Structures are given as structure tokens and as C-alpha cells.
Amino acid sequence: MGSRREGKFGNFYETLKQRGVSRREFLGFCSAMAATLSLPAGYGVKIAEALEKKQKPSVVWLEMQACTGDTESLLRASKPKVGELILDIISYDYHETIMAPAGHQAEKSLNDVVKNLKGKYIAIVEGSIPTKDGGAYLSIGGKSGLSIAREVCENAAATIAVGNCAWDGGLAAAAPNPTGAVGVKEAVPKATVVNLPGCPMNVENLTAVVVHYLTFGTLPATDSMGRPLFAYGKRIHDNCERRGHFDAGQFVRAWGDSGHRQGWCLYEMGCKGPQTYHNCPTIRWNEGTSWPVQSGHGCIGCAAPRFWDAMTPFYRRLPNVPGFGVESTADKVGVGLAAVTAAGLAAHFTVRLAKGKSTESMED
């Protein structure tokens, strides 16, 4: 991490300039961040003014029970752009997967931050935290993951839980959850946590949370599950480019059929978009190139609570489609309400399916 620490005491914009980022690119990035954060027009300038003055924050990244997919998401850049540089020039003082130091040297880096920058650093946690048997199923440097998470997250200014596992335990917490895996907030209730679920999290959302924190000194507004509203406030189904086909009753019924080739709705193939809240369709992946539904595969609901248990089998269609409008939120819907409303709308959807069937047979 040596090179990343060289400019530690310079400000953001100076470092960006040294990396060859022009002012035009920087302002374009700030405007895009304002849009991602659902801020009113004009906030791009405010973000730019704040970032120009800010010192780079110190960040520690903890790797708990995880597949490292969120670190992959962080690093998976085909070419540098401002957002990646912003994350790159944050003072990553500790990141188990990508840091150069090892052993005692690495532990010292972490301890120095916790001791010397108490209440000033950002903790990012990837992976679930095993709590069963005193946290014995994860040990780093002789300490349990649980005790490290408590020490680091309780002393941080803010904690960002990246990926589904750090949010609600994810895959490790799926039944029968042998290690007693939980998310960060459950393991460390005193910590100030914002959750970025997804398997993995989208790095654009992580950048936006960091930018929000640097600009306003606070974490963005969240729903009752600790997820920022700018990223998890809308259903995938409501922003999906195949929605018109859903409304018209045009469904893919087999992989590779004529509907699939024409980009019809993937609901019948198990798409979980109607019950998942995430900004996947609008920010997309790989520099905004595409996202799973655009590439022809249904949403698996990876940003939904306990999705490994609740959204599987992935290729079985949802039993009923709630008919919540675009104004719905995850908080308003709730699990109980979803079940009741879904039952009421089942008949309505049956008509749609029938219509889809007749449409398909007419066109085939």
C-alpha cells in the first residue's frame, strides 16, 4: 500500500490532477455522483467544492467470511476512471486481500489506525461474521473475526458493510448456518453502519456513499434495513427495460425461445426483479455496459434479505407478482403486506399470463 499512502496529506483534487484527471473529467464525475445519489441538479458543484478541499480519509477494509467478490468488484476496472481513482487514492491503510504488508506488520497497520485515528476512519467490511462457539470459526492474527469487527467498527466514524454477507450473513448464514454467521450490524450493534447488499456490491454505490460522506459529513439516508435509499429505494421491476413486455404479457418460456431472442420478460424463467430493490437497471455493471436482465438472465434477488433461502430455486418463478406501483418502497411493502397483496393480485396476473400465452402462440 506504500504508493497509496504517498499522497496521504494532499487533498483529493490535487491527487487526481497528479494522476492525469482533467478538471472537466472531475466535474463530470461530480455531476454523475450527484445523479447517482438522487440529489437535485446543481449538487455536482457542491460535491466538487467539498472534494477539492477534503483530506483523503483513512480506510480499513476487513475481510470476514466471504468469497472476496466485493474486493473483485472494487478492483475490476477495465480502464481507470475518476470513480476508480477516488477509491484508489483513499488511504487504504489495511486491506487483507490486496495489501503488501503481512503478519505482524499488517496487524500493526490496523492497530495504528484504530488507536491513532479513533472516530475518524471509515471501516469497510466484506463478509459475514461467525458468532457461534465464541466466534471460533474465523480467526485472524490470533483474534476472532467477531472481536476484530467489534474493535474496528465501534471505533470507526462510519462502517460500510459491502455485499450481502456483511449485510445479513449472506451465503454463510443460509440454512443451516453452521457458523452462526450474521451481518455487521447484528454483530456490532453499537457501530454506525450503512449496508450495500448485492452479490457482489456495485462499486459505483460504494463510491457514491464515500463521496456523500466526504461532501456532507454524514452517511446517506437509508431504509429500515440500513440500505441507502438512492440505491435501494426502487424495485428492479420498475426500472427494467423488459417491463413493457411484462405489462404486455410477453414472457420468455424457455431459454433460447423466440421470446428470449426478442428480449421479452424473464419472469417465467424465475426473475426476482418484482421483489428486489436495487439500482442495478440504472447504474448497471462494467462501466454501465450491461446488467444481468439486459444480458438475458433473470434477476436472482441478490440484494434482497436472506436471498439464498428466500429467492431459491433461482429458476422457479415467483408464486405471485405483487402489483406495487413505482412509488412503492421496501419499507412500505414489507414481507407481510407483500404476501397479502400478492394473494389479491394473483387472479389479475393469471389473466396476464393467459394473454402472454395467446400472444406467444400468435407470433410463433
Q: Would you tell me which residues interact with ligand SF4 (CB under 6 A)?
A: 236-237, 240, 242-243, 246, 265-267, 271, 273-274, 293, 298-299
CB of 230 to ligand SF4, least distance (A): 19
> Which of residues 170 and 259 has its CB atom nearest to ligand SF4 in the complex?
259
Identify the CA nearest to 11 among candidates 116, 91, 109: 91
> Which of residues 150 and 243 has its CB atom nearest to ligand SF4 in the complex?
243
CA distance 235 to 227: 13
> Which of residues 227 and 243 has its CB atom nearest to ligand SF4 in the complex?
243
CB of 73 to ligand SF4, least distance (A): 21
> Which of residues 203 and 271 has its CB atom nearest to ligand SF4 in the complex?
271
C-alpha cell at 23: 478538471
Which H, E and C letters describe 82-108, residue by residue? Answer: HHHHHHHHCEEEEECCCCCCCHHHHHH
Query: Do 205 and 228 contact (CB within 8 A), yes or no?
Result: yes
CA distance 105 to 112: 11
> Which of residues 259 and 273 has its CB atom nearest to ligand SF4 in the complex?
273
- What lies within 8 Å, CB to CB, of 20 at 6+ separation is none
CB of 166 to ligand SF4, least distance (A): 25
CB of 273 to ligand SF4, least distance (A): 2
Helix (H) or strand (E) holding 140: strand 139-140
Q: Residue 339 in 3-state DSSP?
A: helix
Burial degree of 10 (CB within 10 A; 0-12, 13-18, 19+): middle
- What lies within 8 Å, CB to CB, of 197 at 6+ separation is 163, 164, 167, 168, 227, 232, 278, 302, 303, 304
Query: Do 128 and 170 contact (CB within 8 A), yes or no?
Result: yes
> Which of residues 72 and 363 has its CB atom nearest to ligand SF4 in the complex?
363
> Which of residues 130 and 233 has its CB atom nearest to ligand SF4 in the complex?
233
CB of 156 to ligand SF4, least distance (A): 36
Q: How many CA atoms lie within 13 A of 101 on its CB side?
A: 15
Query: Do 147 and 208 contact (CB within 8 A), yes or no?
Result: no
> Which of residues 212 and 237 has its CB atom nearest to ligand SF4 in the complex?
237
End-to-end, the C-alpha distance of the chain in Å comes to 59
> Which of residues 4 and 243 has its CB atom nearest to ligand SF4 in the complex?
243
Place of cell 428480449: 263
> Which of residues 178 and 244 has its CB atom nearest to ligand SF4 in the complex?
244
Identify the CA nearest to 150 among candidates 74, 232, 62, 76: 62
CB of 237 to ligand SF4, least distance (A): 4
CA distance 249 to 247: 5
Residue nearest to ligand SF4 (CB): 273
Q: How many CA atoms lie within 13 A of 183 on its CB side?
A: 23
CB of 69 to ligand SF4, least distance (A): 22
